[in-house]
Chain A
Amino acid sequence: MISLAGRDILHSWGKFVFTGIGLGLLIGVTLTMAGVYRGMVDDAKVLLDNSAADLWVVQKDTLGPYAEPSSLYDDNWRGIRNIQGVASATNVTYLTMQVRHGESDVRVLVTGVVTGETGAPGWPPHLIAGRQITRGHYEAVADVATGFKLGDQIKIRRNVYAVVGLTRRMVSSSGDPMVFIPIKDAQQAQFLKDNDAILEQRRRTEQNPALNRPGLPEVLDAVIATQSANPFVNAVLVQVKPGYAHPEVAESIRRWKRLQVYDRLQMEEILVGKLIATSARQIGMFLVILAVVSAAIVAFIIYTLTMGKIREIAVLKLIGTRNRTIAGMILQQALGLGLIGFVVGKVSATFWAPVFPKYVLLEPGDAIRGFVAVVVICVLASAISIWAALKVDPAEAIGG
């Protein structure tokens, strides 16, 4: 038996191909939306992977350092390092800001890392060009997504940094590329006030009789020195010695240092389950709407094509064509349209995904799920056309 659907598609291929392309672009958008979500999750995981930490020590009763602000003294790491089972403990700061680069600025996650400890937690694990930070000040390693190049001068707050290294796939949970600078500079960048504000603060301190006692100028100096420095970091990244259970080490830090400690799974849950949960629901809604729109388009196209063949269907029924042959023809056309659409959509998404400003991760599993969804949508969308075709009276082929 010849394929009636195949012959019809070949006969009016232009109509099918152009409709398939239109549908395919819609499917491409749907796959891309799924890719955007996967990219967000991957960004979150990459952030955790690249930090190379087993435990994140943050301010008590916060979900820091990524989902909530966290602030703890920068000397906590010493005590943490002496706890049994801790291999290393390193300060780190995170600050999302606009970084000046030439005439434009770029949104980045400025990360402060401890210099002199190359390879410690928080550092970029690999470079694609240049070198790691070796000086204590004014050097930076940037993710290539920033657009910075080796030797570029970038301005963070009032200071200018030389880009000495480039890395890849170092992004924040919201997809902003990371720029690594020495932690002292990062601490200063987080809390640095302008000169007028500093003068105003000194004046206020001097006018406070409790702090500016006659005959005790060193008290005032000490207070001003405290106000001018920033002894805080956002988190301490901890690596656990082999053979020690992470939960036990975390519990020790909680008990002795009275700080909040998260392990990898907890941090992943915070990032994926809380930080990007709203975005995920938003994307989920988009996916549902796009699926409904795709189904409506396929249903409309197949219904229109079927209605255009009512006389032929009546003739086919009159000359003895079985209902299942006619239903099969319509179903195959719907599936054919879906197949064209899926191929166009997959290819389109693959081509335009790298152009998106944020990371779009197209997973094979999502493509398979998308294909199954397209098949289901096509089957459902063809149902109304099949119902209409089966209702056609073969007597319509006979005049009168």
Chain B
Amino acid sequence: MVTAGIRIEGLRKRFGSGDTAVDALKDVNMVITPGEVVGLVGPSGSGKSTLLKCLGAVVEPSAGRMTIGDELIYDNRWVIKDLRALRRDKIGFIFQAPYLIPFLDVTDNVALLPMLAGLSNAMARKQALELLQALDVAHRARAMPSQLSGGEQQRVSIARALVNRPPVILADEPTAPLDGARALAVIRILNQMARQYEAAIIVVTHDEKIIPTFKRIYHIRDGKTHEEVGEGRDFE
């Protein structure tokens, strides 16, 4: 079996119990390889956010298996005990809005994660600057988030998601506030970063402009995933 960035098998999530129980996820199966960017699309209430929260280890699924790299993290219960460390070291998050920490400058917003992981301030900032360089925002390294444009903020949030070299990145509608060109630029960056850092990236989106860029798309309907081959765009 090829090692996946993230592998999800038969994932289920039930809210409540008895007559009022709601099955938000009924049978979710996904395999994303390192360096791959896949789309996760579906109508409102289909379970996208619940799936993202399960993958992000902030909501516990009811059943199924999840593996990140070679490490089984969920097998009908959390196998990993320290979910906070799991999120910090194995999963990167990109949000609809950048949600940068307003009282930290760009460098420290990105360097915070490696610092939390125990890296020295100097090393963490060095890593952060390398990523900011790669994402073409190094010239704003000392700026505060409020001084950045929307696109710059989103690139900084991508740098923050990547800085600990996580094998999985979860992007929750990262292009929603951006126009077409900027949205495509973000997807281009995600593809480049996925290849460069061998990360498996799941992009939850409604955005019709970017859906055609994915080579693989997971549709989620009534809590079940259906895989589909997308048009795909080569961002080489």
Query: A-side interface residues toward B, CB under 8 Å?
Result: 1-2, 4, 7-8, 10-12, 311-312, 315-322, 325, 393-395, 397-400
Q: Is B22 interfacial (CB-CB < 8 Å)? A: no
**Residues of chain B at interface, number, CB under 8 A:** 32
CB-CB < 8 A to A318: which residues of B? 56, 58, 87, 93
Q: Please name all residues of chain B whose beta carbon is closer than 8 Å to the beta carbon of A322 when the two chains form the complex.
A: 84, 116
**Distance, CA A400 to CA B48, complexed state (A):** 8
B144 touches A1 (CB 8 A): no
Chain A min CB distance to B61 (Å): 13
Inside 8 A of B27's CB, which chain A residues have their CB?
none
Given contacts A7-B103, A394-B58, contact A400 B52 (CB under 8 A): yes
Please give me the residue from chain B that is nearest to A320 by CB atom: B88
Q: How far is A325 from B101 in the complex, measured between Cα atoms in Å?
A: 15
**Cα-based distance from A311 to B113 in the complex (angstroms):** 17
Which of chain B's residues has its CB closest to A12's CB? B103
Whether the Cβ atoms of B160 and A319 lie closer than 8 Å is yes
A242 to B8, CA, bound (A): 97
B165 → chain A closest CB, angstroms: 14
At the interface, yes or no: B99 with Cβ under 8 Å from chain A? yes
B-side residues, CB < 8 A to A, are 48-50, 52-53, 56, 58-59, 84-85, 87-89, 93, 95-96, 99, 101-104, 108, 112-113, 115-117, 121, 144, 160, 172-173
Query: Can you list 5 pairs linking A and B with CB atoms under 8 Å apart?
Result: A11-B103, A11-B144, A312-B102, A319-B87, A395-B53
The answer to whether A398 and B160 touch across the interface, beta carbons within 8 angstroms, is no
The 3 closest A-B pairs by CB, nearest first: A400-B49, A320-B88, A11-B103
Q: Tell me the smallest distance from the CB of A63 to a CB of chain B, in Å.
A: 62
A315 touching B58, Cβ below 8 Å: no
Closest A residue to B108 by CB, please name it.
A2
| Contacting pair A320 B87 (CB below 8 A) | yes
Would you give the shortest CB distance from B86 to chain A, in whole angstroms? Answer: 8
- Chain B: which residue is nearest A9 at the CB level? B103
Chain A residues near B117 (CB-CB < 8 A): 320
Q: Is the CB of B84 within 8 A of A398?
A: no
Nearest-Cβ distance from residue B142 to partner chain A, whole angstroms: 13
With contact pairs A2-B115, A318-B58, A319-B93 given, residues A8 and B103 touching in the complex (Cβ less than 8 Å) = yes
Contact: A10 with B103, CB < 8 Å? yes
Give CA–CA (A318, B86) in the complex, Å.
Answer: 10
Complex contacts, B144 vs chain A, CB 8 Å: 11
Contact A319 B88 (CB under 8 A): yes
A315-B101, A318-B87 provided; 17 other pairs, C-beta below 8 A? A1-B116, A2-B112, A2-B115, A4-B101, A4-B103, A10-B103, A312-B101, A315-B95, A318-B56, A319-B160, A320-B116, A321-B84, A395-B56, A395-B58, A397-B93, A398-B58, A398-B172
> B84 to chain A: which residues have CB within 8 Å?
317, 320-322
**Separation of A324 and B172 alpha carbons in the complex (Å):** 27
Q: Which of A8, A322, A393, A397 has the most CB of B within 10 A?
A: A397
Q: Which residues of B contact A1 (CB under 8 A)?
A: 115-116, 121
Contacts of A4 in B (CB 8 A): 101, 103-104
Bound CA–CA A317/B85 (angstroms): 10
Contacts of A311 in B (CB 8 A): 99
Q: Is the CB of A315 within 8 A of B99?
A: yes
> With A8-B103, A11-B102, A398-B49 in contact, do A325 and B116 touch (Cβ < 8 Å)?
yes
A399 touches B101 (CB 8 A): no
A399 engages B99 (CB within 8 Å): no
B95 pairs with A397, CB closer than 8 A: yes
List the A side residues contacting B52 at CB < 8 Å: 398, 400
CB distance from A311 to the nearest CB of B (A): 6
Q: What separation, in Å, do the CA atoms of A7 and B108 have in the docked complex?
A: 10
Name the residue of chain B whose CB is nearest to the CB of A322: B84
- Measured CB to CB, the closest approach of chain A to B178, in angstroms, equals 15
CB closest residue in chain B, given A313? B101
Chain B nearest Cβ from A313, distance in angstroms? 10
Closest A-chain residue to B52, C-beta based?
A: A398
Residues of B within 8 A of A393 (CB): 58
Chain B residues whose C-beta falls within 8 Å of the C-beta of A316 in the assembled complex: 101
By a CB distance below 8 angstroms, the chain B residues around A315 are 93, 95, 99, 101
A12, A317, A399: the one contacting B172 at CB < 8 Å is A399
Contact of A2 among B102, B121, B160 (CB under 8 A): B121
Residues of chain A with a CB closer than 8 A to B101's CB: 4, 312, 315-316
**What separation, in Å, do the CA atoms of A394 and B84 have in the docked complex?**
10
Task: For residue B226, give the distance in angstroms from its CB to the closest CB of chain A.
Answer: 20
How distant is B58 from chain A, measured CB to nearest CB, in Å?
A: 4
Residue of chain A at shortest CB distance from B50: A400
Q: Considering the complex, give the chain A residue whose CB is closest to the CB of B170.
A: A398
CA distance A158 to B61 in the complex (A): 97
Q: How far is the CA of A377 from the CA of B139 in the complex (A)?
A: 44
